């Protein structure tokens, strides 16, 4: 797929991957062998009808392709961009053995973008049932659940704490990976077609409790994600210039801080940025930092500076998607593997002056199966940085659990829910996505939202009564 050249894209927030042209999409679709037993579908958490949509695409039948897509997935433009297809559908493609799997994700994106522009096939909705469902959180899990429940004819209201729906798709994933126009477009489109009401600025647990929602609604789904940031327990984390990846990315993405002062929210990085962690969020934070440095240098002259990713394990253990790592490396992010911060050092005005790190080596595998990092004694050194961004994973925000007696949670703060159905221990409450699993992928959250929606629909039809009485 065509991409923006690395030297150019590091100076802008425009999308990196440019998408297939019609010609490229058709040619790619022709490579699909249309297997009698397609394994690709088994790898998809929402079960997209992959051979069917590709077959229509190949025949030039765009409307057919969109229809096939929307049977299982109302948000193809989003999924086509952020799903880790290489470990889901594409790895199962029979052509993968030769290293030539069909680019299913890119084709999905092509169909999604076509539909956003053409709006051929509004999602269909069954006659109204009079039942009401509250969805808490408008991220991937909540949106998917909302779409599938609304299709059944139930009245759906989504409560979102921020001012714009989309959850991590809006505040977390940067514009250059997932344009916000795509997110707004697919959400608006689905909401319009299905009559879904979205209430932004509603922090459940504060403005309404879960119990109050259950007084008004027949069922509730919690898809509140994993929104709480973690900081390392080392000295110096409160100096100016130390922030969570959540804060940094929210300023950049949700608040459009990279367009300050046209937008009011400032965001700034210095000339020496250290991002701690090596997951997808770390890659996003590093690549945003690099772009901000470039923009600043374009406007004010001088050298842009450096962005480091500091990771305590080695290249082999990097948890980010291969493509994200590759793009980051291509753009000039410096990787400091087997390195761990031990203290952040402050200077004038309480600003970060440097970070003291220690070198690590890998020992025996730990509980996660990855080799555990062990500090090498006496290897401490100072890194001259002025900005430190922690991208160390997130946990569920407990606000939604205020006065939610009966809702069981694990010791990690995640909601206990049945994996197949999303049922929680609280009657008429389902949950799915990161609030149940801890931070995971967009599409696994969508899968959980879909499974819960199916169970909610069965419950509202009166077919099941999981909590008795």
Partner 1 sequence: MATIRVYQILHKETLSDVTKLMVIAAPAVARKARAGQFVIVRIDERGERIPLTVADYDREAGTITIIFQEVGKTTKQLGTLEPGDELATFVGPLGHPTEIQNYGTVVCVGGGVGIAPLYPIARALKEAGNTVLSIIGARNKALLFWEDKMRAVSDELIVCTDDGSKGRKALVTEPLKELLEQRRGEIARVWVIGPAIMMKFASLTTKPFQVPTIVSLNTIMVDGTGMCGGCRVLLEEGAQFVCVDGPEFDGHQVDWDNLLARQQFYRAEEQQATQEWEHHCRLEGVAVEGGA
- Bridge-based pairing state of the strands 132-136 and 242-244: unpaired
Tell which positions 320-349 bind partner 1, by CB under 8 A. 349
301 vs 468 by CB, closer to partner 1: 301
* 162 is a contact residue toward partner 1 (CB under 8 A): yes
Q: How far is the C-alpha of 131 from the C-alpha of 37, rounded, in Å?
A: 38
Q: CB neighbours (10 Å) of residue 75?
A: 26
How far apart are the two ends of the chain, measured CA to CA in Å? 55
Task: Report, in Å, the least distance between residue 278 CB and partner 1.
Answer: 20
| DSSP string for 175-217 | TTTS-HHHHHHHHHHHHHHHT-EEETT--BTTTB-HHHHHHH-
Looking at 337-427, which runs of residues are DSSP E strands? 339-346, 352-365, 371-375, 381-383, 387-390, 394-395
Contact 174, 213 (CB under 8 A): no
Q: Which of 169, 383, 188 is nearest to 274 (CA)?
A: 383
Number of residues that bind partner 1 (CB under 8 A): 54
Task: Report, in Å, the least distance between residue 37 CB and partner 1.
Answer: 41
Among 67, 73, 250, 457, binds partner 1 (CB under 8 A): 250
Task: Report, in Å, the least distance between residue 83 CB and partner 1.
Answer: 24
- Residue 66: its H or E element: helix 62-72
386 vs 455 by CB, closer to partner 1: 386
Task: Report, in Å, the least distance between residue 303 CB and partner 1.
Answer: 20
Task: Report, in Å, the least distance between residue 263 CB and partner 1.
Answer: 5
4 vs 351 by CB, closer to partner 1: 351
Task: Report, in Å, the least distance between residue 316 CB and partner 1.
Answer: 30
134 vs 255 by CB, closer to partner 1: 255
Handedness of CA 444, 447, 453, 459 (dihedral sign): negative
83 vs 158 by CB, closer to partner 1: 158
231 vs 335 by CB, closer to partner 1: 231
* 302 is a contact residue toward partner 1 (CB under 8 A): no
Task: Report, in Å, the least distance between residue 121 CB and partner 1.
Answer: 19
199 vs 370 by CB, closer to partner 1: 199
* 247 is a contact residue toward partner 1 (CB under 8 A): yes
Task: Report, in Å, the least distance between residue 162 CB and partner 1.
Answer: 6
Task: Report, in Å, the least distance between residue 199 CB and partner 1.
Answer: 5
**Mask 258-277, x = binds partner 1 (CB under 8 A)?**
--xxxxxxx-x---------
Residues in Cβ contact with 355 at an 8 Å cutoff, skipping those fewer than 6 apart: 274, 310, 341, 343, 344, 345, 382, 383, 385, 388
Among 43, 84, 174, 227, binds partner 1 (CB under 8 A): 227
Contact 357, 234 (CB under 8 A): no
Among 123, 399, 416, 454, binds partner 1 (CB under 8 A): 399
SS3 334: strand
Contact 210, 369 (CB under 8 A): no
* 232 is a contact residue toward partner 1 (CB under 8 A): no
19 vs 223 by CB, closer to partner 1: 223
Contact 394, 227 (CB under 8 A): yes
| DSSP string for 282-329 | HHHHHHHHHHHHHHHHHHH-S---EEEEE-SS-GGG--S-HHHHHHHH
Q: How far is the C-alpha of 89 from the C-alpha of 48, rounded, in Å?
A: 10
* 188 is a contact residue toward partner 1 (CB under 8 A): yes
CA–chain centroid gap for 410, Å, is: 22
**Selected range binding partner 1 among 24-32, 114-122, 213-221, 241-249, rule: CB under 8 A:** 241-249
Q: How far is the C-alpha of 124 from the C-alpha of 194, rounded, in Å?
A: 7
- Which residue ranges make up the site for partner 1 (CB under 8 A)? 161-163, 165, 171, 187-188, 191-192, 195-203, 206-208, 227-229, 231, 233, 237-241, 243-244, 246-247, 250-251, 254-256, 260-266, 268, 349-351, 397-399
């Amino acid at each position: 797929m065509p991409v923006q050249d690395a030297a150019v894209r590091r100076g802008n927030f425009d999308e990196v991957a440019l998408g297939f042209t019609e010609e490229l999409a058709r040619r790619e679709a022709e490579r699909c062998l249309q297997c009698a037993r397609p394994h690709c579908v088994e790898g998809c958490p929402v079960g997209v009808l992959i051979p069917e949509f590709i077959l229509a695409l190949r025949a030039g039948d765009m409307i057919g392709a969109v229809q096939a897509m929307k049977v299982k997935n109302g948000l193809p433009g989003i999924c086509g961009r952020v799903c880790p297809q290489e470990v889901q559908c594409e790895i199962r493609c029979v052509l993968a053995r030769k290293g030539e799997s069909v680019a299913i994700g890119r084709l999905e994106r092509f169909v999604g973008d076509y539909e956003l522009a053409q709006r051929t096939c509004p999602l269909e909705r069954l006659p109204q049932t009079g039942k009401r469902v509250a969805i808490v959180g408008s991220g991937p899990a909540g949106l998917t659940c909302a779409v599938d429940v609304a299709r059944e004819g139930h009245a759906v209201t989504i409560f979102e704490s921020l001012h714009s729906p989309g959850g991590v798709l809006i505040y977390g994933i940067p514009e250059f990976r997932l344009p916000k126009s795509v997110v707004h477009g697919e959400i608006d489109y689905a909401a319009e077609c299905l009559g879904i009401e979205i209430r932004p600025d509603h922090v459940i647990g504060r403005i309404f409790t879960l119990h109050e929602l259950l007084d008004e609604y027949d069922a509730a789904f919690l898809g509140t994600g994993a929104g709480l940031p973690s900081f390392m327990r080392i000295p110096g984390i409160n100096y100016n210039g130390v922030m969570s990846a959540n804060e940094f990315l929210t300023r950049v993405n949700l608040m459009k801080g990279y367009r300050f002062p046209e937008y009011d929210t400032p965001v700034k990085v210095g000339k020496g940025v250290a991002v701690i962690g090596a997951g997808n969020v770390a890659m996003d934070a590093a690549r945003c930092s690099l772009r901000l440095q470039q923009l600043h240098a374009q406007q004010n002259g001088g050298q842009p500076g450096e962005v480091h990713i500091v990771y305590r394990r080695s290249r082999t253990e990097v948890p980010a998607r291969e493509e994200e790592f590759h793009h980051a490396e291509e753009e000039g992010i410096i990787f400091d593997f087997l390195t761990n911060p031990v203290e952040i050092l402050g200077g004038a005005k309480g600003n970060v002056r440097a970070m003291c790190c220690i070198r690590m080596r890998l020992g025996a595998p730990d509980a996660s199966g990855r080799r555990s990092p062990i500090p090498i004694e006496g290897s401490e050194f100072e890194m001259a940085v002025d900005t430190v961004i922690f991208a160390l994973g997130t946990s569920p925000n407990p606000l939604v659990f205020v006065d939610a007696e009966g809702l069981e949670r694990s010791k990690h703060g995640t909601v206990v829910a049945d994996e197949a159905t999303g049922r929680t221990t609280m009657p008429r409450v389902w949950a799915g996505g990161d609030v149940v699993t801890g931070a995971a992928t967009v599409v696994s959250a969508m899968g959980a939202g879909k499974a819960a929606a199916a169970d909610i629909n069965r419950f509202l039809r009166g077919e099941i009564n999981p909590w008795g009485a």
